[in-house]
Structure 1
């Protein structure tokens, strides 16, 4: 995988990609369209995520963007155009909403950590994208909102990811008012992990991601899957599941190596097995 480069003779690609140090950057490159999640953009993102999931060189995935808007959510022009269809757009709306839901679940189920790198505004399904990622780092000027209520379209699907990241009353505040919150408030709410000055964003994000990338890929896969599965379980079931996960993890080659390395005061040599 290598960086995508545009030229003057062809339209700029929707996504730019770069792999460095086990960290795979996916950058949405439609600033003139506010990096909206059109059907085309979602297909492109899904395809890159699938390729990254299968590439053993990729250990951590970043999703970022170009321009002042991280992601403006669904492409409202695309949705509006569908009203001219014979069914008033119903089939198109069903397809696009299912596509978006599948993309968000793909991120959650991906066997590798996914980090949102937020510069600018993340609104509606763009906020949903941030919430769906495992971690999120934002600049100090980033803002977040679920403003569907302002245009008569409640952010119901963004609500699913949002309500799994922030407390119910805070989620409802965002959903009912449609007002923006700044990066500091988003961190307080639990929507993002860290706030970084824009000038240092790339440097900090790469270092942050490389720390995670240095771990055993098998261990990260086990842990991410277990984290999301146990969230949906009653307490007793969650402990039973987590205990069995620990047993299976202990039998893995990397657990044996990691514990031995710790006891011997040396750096572990992961085999991802």
Structure 2
């Protein structure tokens, strides 16, 4: 990709990789990808956004970023802490957030927890984490602890060829196009004896020991003080959740496409870019 700079950010507790897009004096934006994806999720979108200085992170445990130490987990608040450390490293007291899926959820958590730090929120098909009823909290914790114990001896899937690894990503929990899978594979795959495996930390697939209720999660939404634009993918994860969408005090725009509409093809990337360019241009 032309005009993209690769950097590593040492945050003290972890080192993260990132792509830099846009003019140095542009509006500061930290971009956060979805679960098991990486910074290349913004490879089609970021070059189409005008006047923004975008730092697209590989979140901890993803892409070229470090994995968390043995015994540590991947809680939403830990990701939010990482983002604050990145902002500190860059000297950004205030910044915008661009997030897809898990990245959108982290963005909402951070902007609700510290509303004074975030200038704008641009969200793609993600808002709050999946909720849980209070009655199953103890049971969920038990399942998660058991899964952590079992994780130790598990090896990762090795694909004999790049093609098979790309096909596996195309048919993942959320299907993506071949082009999208190939872009994610550029940062996500590594050679190992016998073929290729995904770089992502296998602990990312463990169940969360603790989930917020929807009511708790919505407290973050209500504290957000900055302009917020949410792109809802017509065939994505949010479109059918009308009760949630009706509660959101955000600007909503529904666009055609699946959950990765900004990455799946050029036309989807253009539509999302048009929406966000209008949003960031409003003074």
Fold shared by both chains (TM-score > 0.5): no
Question: Taking structure 1 as the reference length, what is the TM-score of the superposition?
Answer: 0.35
Greater fraction helix: 1
Question: Taking structure 2 as the reference length, what is the TM-score of the superposition?
Answer: 0.34
Q: For CA contacts below 8 A with separation 6 or more, give which structure has more relative contact order.
A: 2
Greater fraction strand: 2
Structure whose CA Rg is larger: 1
